[in-house]
Chain A
């Protein structure tokens, strides 16, 4: 499963297989060429903008507003990087990438960072010449059912008919899960997301299964979204996060700690609003984080105020989450795994000291 892509076009699927071959070829090439990119940060400062690879269109993660501006969770991470470096969230150039193009674009230096809803896996981390900087969003395969079925847990789905799409790991995950729990099921598979959704809506199956973030955006498209619910179980791990090229540890650190800064701010309860009050922080943790003490920012090659700039402009992780895919968006995806570790979630930033 590469990523949740509810509206993937058939054209893209057609050449999906190219990815692997090209990636391997590119790896061979890049091993000889990668030393060329000495300092990504230096390049970015010289260019005056960050080039950020984003998804071509994925509800809530990266999409185009009516005025032509990019929005979404992945897009906001690009903005956070730009704000940390330039104190200007507009200094990003977005490079919309198809799923098969994304790693090669990173390899060739067309983009500085890939923030494109990409699952962190061992094989990608080790064989594609990229580094994953962390997890922006914990996704995983889930189930959607009609409310009137009265099902509250995936464990009650014995004997159900399940709709999903072919050619992805979703099918395999599903069969693993049902076998492990000694349940029977009947799969109904389709080539495209649109067909899966249509079949589910027409009642050809009881359950629709795909990545949870995808389920939430599919649900909006149903005639009566409130008649359907998404079960709490997640049966696969799809940690989505930003990736950078191997061979530039400074840039890798900047991307990694920008992500941690968003999380740390939420943990310290520092929000866009609280920074607007302009009251100097007194707690040592906050002072270090915001750059009043110590020199975390300078060690990264940025200014010590970088984290403060980011939170001031974009808000902390929680604010970005709620705005794009949480409460304040139509997707309304509950935090669950994407909560902080202090709230029972999985997000955990190492200490800023």
Chain B
């Protein structure tokens, strides 16, 4: 009996102490705490009401929905379109397969031992774009060609983001190194490139690529619109990334480079084994920041007539049968974007922690 009292009382005591310390330690704190409590009780019940209690989850057609709560049927009915866009229904298995293969390849990285991975990882990284291209676009192994004007939805958003990130990263590293180079022409070129792309808004770049470029190209030469957009986003992101990585490179004391040269290491060896591993570790938050920005910037492709995830949600909301359910669509879109961006930021933390553990002995020698 006494034990039971002890276990309940101590946490209660602790709880009060905690509240006193963190919520009510000064008059100002009291005011803030109380007003926030008031705000929550005023703000949340109607929100909960709209989101869940009065919302419609089951049924077919917009007639089932009331105006008092959210109409989640809308999101459910259009979900396949949100995800796959205009991709023909009978070919959607190809997208699913591409995702499964990607997960499989990542799984291999975790399961296999390091000595196998030395050969395996580069082959997988090199082969995946080809596999994915054949699956998504077709044209080989008896797969029909699905032209890019039929791509859309979350699938298109992911394609743009992943290709953008995968392309921008190596390019960004190269630009950052080029900007630090001793060779004046390379240095000047990298500088010019970075300043040019950073100085222009993405919307302008996309607009130029989609509308103006065909005017200058000779007739008959037709570069795919999506390809143009992908290249633009890649170049755009690489300029930002280059500056982030340059920050990392400059944070490495010049003594290290001098030491490496004294040991007889070549420029490439020094860069590969000494400068870059440390520099990239230092700027992981900045790199991921750029990637999250890039992911969200993909929504701008709506300007040039590509229907990314947000674009297709907006388009679905103007279907006359479903007018008036735009809010549900936007909330869903926001939620999906948040999920992706949040997992990216978690992944960056994981990378930071891992690299921190590894890096400790080298950066702080005892």
Number of interface residues of B (CB under 8 A): 37
- B252 contacts the other chain (Cβ, under 8 Å)? no
Within the complex, the shortest CB–CB distance from A318 to chain B, in Å, comes to: 19
Question: Which of B77, B89, B320 lies in contact with A217, CB distance below 8 A?
Answer: B320
Q: Mark B311-325, 1 if CB is under 8 A from A, else 0.
A: 110111111110110
| Cβ-defined partner of A101 (8 Å) among B211, B219, B314 | B211
**A-B CB pair tally, cutoff 8 Å:** 108
A96 interface contact, C-beta 8 A: yes
Give chain B nearest CB distance to A215 CB in angstroms. Answer: 13
Known contacts A18-B207, A26-B215, A30-B215; is A60 also within 8 Å of B320 by CB? yes
Contact B315 A105 (CB under 8 A): no
Binding site for B on A (CB under 8 A): 6-7, 9, 11-12, 14-15, 18, 22, 26, 29-30, 33, 36-37, 56-60, 63-68, 93, 95-98, 101, 104-105, 107-110, 194, 217, 220-221, 223, 329-331
Q: Are B320 and A329 in contact (CB under 8 A)?
A: yes
Residues of B within 8 A of A (CB): 67, 77-78, 81, 85-87, 89, 149, 203, 207, 210-212, 214-215, 219, 299-300, 302-305, 307, 311-312, 314-321, 323-324, 326
Q: Assess A9 versus B320: contact at CB under 8 Å? Given A96-B305, A108-B212, A110-B214.
A: no
Report yes or no: A98 in contact with B305, Cβ–Cβ below 8 A: yes
| 8 Å CB contact of B320 from A22, A29, A108, A331 | A331
> Is B85 in contact with A7, judged by CB distance below 8 angstroms?
no
B-chain residues with CB within 8 Å of residue A330 when the two chains form the complex: 320-321, 323
> How far apart sit A60 and B320, CA to CA, in the bound complex (Å)?
6
Inter-chain contact B302/A223, CB cutoff 8 Å? no
Bound-state Cα–Cα, A68 to B215, Å: 30
Is the Cβ of B300 less than 8 Å from the Cβ of A11?
yes
A-B pairs with beta carbons under 8 Å apart, 22 shown: A11-B302, A22-B212, A26-B215, A33-B215, A36-B219, A56-B305, A59-B318, A59-B323, A63-B318, A64-B316, A66-B319, A68-B86, A95-B305, A101-B207, A101-B211, A104-B211, A107-B215, A108-B214, A108-B215, A220-B320, A220-B324, A331-B320
Give the docked Cα–Cα distance between A162 and B360 (Å): 67
Knowing A15-B203, A59-B323, A96-B307, the reply to whether A7 touches B212 (Cβ < 8 A) is: no
| Minimum-distance CB pairs A-B, first 5 | A221-B324, A57-B318, A57-B315, A68-B86, A104-B211
- Expressed in whole angstroms, the Cα–Cα distance for A144 and B14 within the complex equals 62
Contact at A104–B78, with CB atoms within 8 Å? no
| A29 vs B304: C-alpha distance when bound (angstroms) | 20
**B307 cross-chain contacts in A, Cβ below 8 A:** 96
Once the chains bind, are B214 and A109 in contact (CB under 8 Å)? yes
- A26 proximity list for chain B (CB < 8 A): 212, 215
- Distance from A111 Cβ to chain B, minimum over Cβ atoms (Å): 10
- Nearest-CB distance from B62 to chain A (Å)? 9
Q: Which residue of A lies closest to B216 (CB)?
A: A29
Give the CA-CA distance A15 to B207 in the complex, in Å: 11
Looking across the interface, which residue of chain B has its beta carbon closest to that of A98?
B303
Given A9-B302, A101-B304, are A110 and B324 neighbors across the interface (CB < 8 Å)? no
Q: Are B215 and A29 in contact (CB under 8 A)?
A: yes
- B312 & A64 in contact (Cβ 8 Å cutoff): yes
Distance (whole angstroms) from the CB of A75 to the closest CB of chain B: 13
Bound Cα distance A231, B221 (Å): 52
- If A64-B312, A104-B212, A110-B211 touch, whether A56 touches B302 (CB-CB below 8 Å) is yes
**Chain B residues positioned under 8 Å from A59 (CB to CB):** 318-320, 323
Whether the Cβ atoms of A12 and B303 lie closer than 8 Å is: yes
Q: B211 to A108, Cβ gap below 8 A?
A: yes
Docked CA distance A64–B67 (Å): 23
Give A58 Cβ to nearest chain B Cβ, in Å: 6
In the assembled complex, the Cα of A77 lies from the Cα of B326 at a distance in Å of 27
